[in-house]
Amino acid sequence: MSLLTIAFRSIKQRLFSSTLTMISMALGVTLVVGVLAIFGIVQQSFNANATLGYNMVIGAKGGKLQLVLNSVYYLSEPIENIPYEYFLEYKSQEVREQEYSGSYSYKAVQHQQVARATLVAAGVGLHSPVTAIAAIAADASVQEQIDTLYPWKRVGKYAAFTDFAIPLCLGDYVGPYRVVGTTPDMFDLLRHGSEAQYEYKMRGNGRNFEQFNQENGFFEAIVGSVVANDRGLTVGDTITPSHGSEEGDQHTTKFQVVGVMEATGTPNDRAVFINMEGFYRMSDHAKPLENEDAFGADQQAHKITDASYILPVEKREVTAMLVRMDPLYSVGIENQVNEGNLAQAVFPIIEIRKLLDLFVRPVQTLLMVLTVLICFVSGVSILVSIYNSMNERRSEIAVLRALGARRGTVYAVVLLESMLLSFMGGILGFFSGHALIAMCSGVIEAKTGVQVGFFDFAPPIPLPIPIVGSISAEFLLIPGMILLAVFVGFIPATSAYKTDVSKSLGK
């Protein structure tokens, strides 16, 4: 008969107490698996946002963390707005001309009026190109005045270093979820995933919203997966944002849902995205200006629902900008922006890591310490169970010794019994822990956007050990519990090892 069989029969003989010991061990392992899963979910959620698809957030002066929480996670409240003209400094000359031209800008009208008056005063008739060219050649000051006629006919100050800049306008809600006014670039240019390799996809026949179309005008929206599931929204439904907060007054403007995002595990799952032009056209969203009537605003106000009317640049503001820049220039531009008095630039990954290190990791460490202590207590329960059984088993051990078993053999049987209890309790805890995670997967996905299942394992613990640092921490759990069982099994094994055969057989 093998030593393993003897140890297994010994456990079976005291089935009730052995079962209680295994359950105690299983509960400890279940808790450890749960904590490791929490660590993995937080880590996976962070990795999903680690690249973001952009490397800089630009917004109004204020707290850096608040800007990141507001612009990346749609938490907290906006600091303040920055002028739309500042946003255009990250755009090409073609875009700037389009935004400023004609009725798009009060400043365009004003500059044209001032420039014409200046040129006339300088004796240059705008009706005569030959005269104008001659005057420009003769007088450099006239050239400067000509330049004021179209000051936007240049590339944006930061455009050469910018891959893209996506504006965000915040301030409204749909239920508890943030409404984000933006442009179609949000989903055409941005990518998500740990390497920013995935495009945003829509469910079913959904699509990205358009700047303008004949069917819905400027009033189209896309909803995140969590919002859609919670509010029961599908393509074709309409939403009405509330002003300022969830309990705020509802706008009269309705937006048509044209797309529902598939789950991405990013904060975008918990937001509603609307056309920025439609955002501006809601009540109290356009910036009021002095002397608007001087530029014909009173005549254009009635056209606010008309596609031919575009809100002037000066009446536009943005809460923040998501910018992707060449990393070689981003640090220098960040310093340049922060030195100004209009806006601040933040590297969101740095702020997210600070938040993770400051709040999340200490909690994870505390939970890990508690679970290790619980596992240690479970190991002590094995010690108590086996040690208390020694008095009942002295005759059994004495018989083994009388039949020729060495003391080392008795020692090995007791240690094997301890290891079996630990192994079976560990396996039970491992599967019960993953079953618990699978049962809670729906809630986890709804709250964090991270999809987890029964066969999802915690990530490796970052330790400077070749093998340990490259496999899931869960695969180290049961071997660790067996080592703990060997450690605590030494005391009852030593007690069995010292059993006096003659005295035990005489009882």
Write out pLDDT tens, residues 259-299: 999 988 788 989 999 999 999 989 888 887 766 555 554 44
Average pLDDT over residues 487-501: 71
398 and 288 belong to one structural domain: no
Which of the two residues, 114 and 234, has the higher pLDDT score? 234
257 and 284 belong to one structural domain: yes
In DSSP terms, which residues pair with 182 in a beta bridge? Answer: 275
Q: What is the Cα–Cα distance from 416 to 420, expressed in whole angstroms? A: 6
Which of the two residues, 167 and 498, has the higher pLDDT score? 167
pLDDT tens column, 296-344: 544 444 444 555 566 788 888 999 999 999 888 888 999 999 998 889 9
Percent of the chain with pLDDT over 70: 73
Q: What is the Cα–Cα distance from 296 to 264, expressed in whole angstroms? A: 46
Number of H helices and E strands in the chain, helices first, is 19, 12
- Residue 290: both structure tokens together: 């002095």
101 three-state secondary structure: coil
Whether residue 183 has pLDDT greater than 90: yes
234 and 302 belong to one structural domain: yes
Q: In the chain, how many domains are there?
A: 3
Q: Which residues, other chains included, contact 251 with Cβ-Cβ below 8 Å and sequence gap of 6+?
A: 172, 240, 241, 242, 243, 282, 283
What pLDDT, on the 0 to 100 scale, is given for residue 443? 75
What pLDDT, on the 0 to 100 scale, is given for residue 297? 47
- Count of C-beta atoms within a 10 Å radius of residue 412: 18
Average pLDDT over residues 75-87: 88
| Element containing residue 260 per DSSP (H, E) | strand 255-260
Low-confidence winner among 74-88, 285-299, 475-489 (lowest mean pLDDT): 285-299
Average pLDDT over residues 31-49: 72
Low-confidence winner among 83-92, 137-146, 195-204 (lowest mean pLDDT): 137-146
What pLDDT, on the 0 to 100 scale, is given for residue 76? 80
Among candidate residues 449, 70, 454, the one with its CA nearest the CA of residue 230 = 449
261 and 321 belong to one structural domain: yes
User: Which of 285, 317, 346 corresponds to the end of one domain?
Assistant: 346
312 and 443 belong to one structural domain: no
309 and 217 belong to one structural domain: yes
Residue showing tokens 């509802």: 250
Which of the two residues, 494 and 262, has the higher pLDDT score? 262
Three-state DSSP string of 143-204: HHHHHHHCCCCCCCCCHHHEEEEEEEEEEEEECCEEEEEECCHHHHCCCECCCCCECCCECC
**Residue 267 amino acid letter:** P
What pLDDT, on the 0 to 100 scale, is given for residue 474? 79
Average pLDDT over residues 37-53: 69
User: Which of 87, 118, 149 corresponds to the end of one domain?
Assistant: 149
Percent of the chain with pLDDT over 90: 25
Q: What is the Cα–Cα distance from 255 to 276, expressed in whole angstroms? A: 12
161 and 201 belong to one structural domain: yes
Whether residue 141 has pLDDT greater than 80: no
432 and 462 belong to one structural domain: yes
175 and 143 belong to one structural domain: no
Question: Is 52 within 8 Å of 335 (Cβ atoms)?
Answer: no
208 and 238 belong to one structural domain: yes
pLDDT tens column, 381-432: 777 777 777 666 666 666 666 666 676 777 777 788 888 888 898 899 889 9
What CA dihedral angle connects 434, 436, 440 and 441, to 10 degrees?
Answer: 10
Among candidate residues 383, 23, 1, 185, the one with its CA nearest the CA of residue 9 = 1
User: Which of 291, 314, 346 corresponds to the end of one domain?
Assistant: 346
Q: What is the mean pLDDT of the chain?
A: 79
Q: What is the Cα–Cα distance from 288 to 314, expressed in whole angstroms? A: 9
Range of the domain at 86: 56-105+153-346
Whether residue 459 has pLDDT greater than 80: no
Q: What is the Cα–Cα distance from 473 to 385, expressed in whole angstroms? A: 28
What pLDDT, on the 0 to 100 scale, is given for residue 133? 47
Question: Is 322 within 8 Å of 190 (Cβ atoms)?
Answer: yes
Question: Is 472 within 8 Å of 20 (Cβ atoms)?
Answer: no
Average pLDDT over residues 206-210: 94
| Element containing residue 491 per DSSP (H, E) | helix 477-497
450 and 488 belong to one structural domain: yes
Whether residue 134 has pLDDT greater than 80: no
Whether residue 143 has pLDDT greater than 60: no
What pLDDT, on the 0 to 100 scale, is given for residue 239? 95
Question: Is 359 within 8 Å of 118 (Cβ atoms)?
Answer: no
340 and 450 belong to one structural domain: no
Which of the two residues, 452 and 50, has the higher pLDDT score? 452
